[in-house]
Chains A and B, each alone.
Chain A
């Protein structure tokens, strides 16, 4: 069988082609958080043939996750998310390398776990970890993609340190409050998770294949079925990237 047989239809897509597939197979992508967005992203990345995936999450599967965390089923309840997702992904694509870390991302383990990644996908459920990612990638120079979902809305933005706006350009001060909209107080519907994880992986594929830097925040609402593109530029005086 041809080594690229499973990617035949993807290779037929001209902007990707065989040369793009080779780049994907050589790439390493980190996925921080293996919940709703993370399982969707990991599923698409594994099927697309991204050659090496690094999954990190310290959480365990719960019944209430199954509505939107698409790699898991009832038999997974209680299992560590990262490890169980890796096992599911290995059954989808056994030709790629998948590493799973059932731990929380910290400043102390960032380099050990993610330093080899060509791109990092944010699938976390909190801004504290995103600010950690922002700070660490400003040091390492690695590109990452912010994604967030709540209720029926979600957003995605590619952050290429010292080139695009960074997260601190957008949110200079972290003033998080308890009632900030989240899945715990505003709920969430499954379709927005699928849409935003797909948008993030589209950005990732194009970045890895063409080194394309998407400079707009992409916002989508899965209830109103409305999409916004918001152009983002670095903010002069940003406390993160010092634009």
Chain B
């Protein structure tokens, strides 16, 4: 496992104390596109996951309000995917929040 892209071991959100490299079973890279709040992460960030997760499961480990998650479109390796899809090692996700202002 490689360290997170920003050089810090941010670890897996919601699982305090997890050492991101030890025991992680997959890594995925994530780009936060447009208005979506990247929270404590860089706009492009690499995450180490300790367990197999669906897209929804992964989003729920991040900093998002639960009410926002339904409005997040996810591209998995360049193709939009439902939140029910299972993540795989090496996936690249792009997260885009549908915005409502006009």
Contact = CB atoms under 8 A, between A and B. Distances in A.
Interface in A185-243: 186, 188, 217, 219-221, 226, 228, 230-233, 235
**A interface majority secondary structure:** mixed
A21 interface: no
28 contacts: A35-B102, A38-B102, A127-B100, A148-B99, A149-B99, A150-B99, A150-B101, A151-B35, A152-B35, A153-B34, A153-B35, A153-B99, A155-B99, A170-B98, A171-B70, A171-B98, A174-B70, A175-B69, A177-B67, A179-B65, A180-B67, A181-B97, A181-B99, A217-B96, A219-B34, A219-B96, A228-B96, A230-B80
A170 B73 contact: yes
4 closest residue pairs by CB, A with B:
A177-B67, A153-B34, A153-B35, A150-B99
B4 interface: no
B70 A219 contact: no
B59 interface: no
A147 B80 CA distance: 19
A183 interface: yes
Given A221-B33, A228-B33, 15 more contacts: A36-B102, A37-B102, A130-B100, A148-B100, A150-B100, A152-B35, A154-B34, A173-B70, A176-B67, A179-B65, A217-B96, A228-B34, A228-B94, A230-B73, A231-B79
A186 B37 CA distance: 10
Nearest to A216: B80
The interface centre, meaning the residue of B69, B71, B82, B100 with most chain A CB atoms within 10 A of its CB, is B100
Interface string A142-164: 00000111111111000000000
Interface residues on A, range: 35 or more
Contacts of A155: 34, 96, 98-99
B34 A182 contact: no
Interface size bucket, B side? 20 to 34
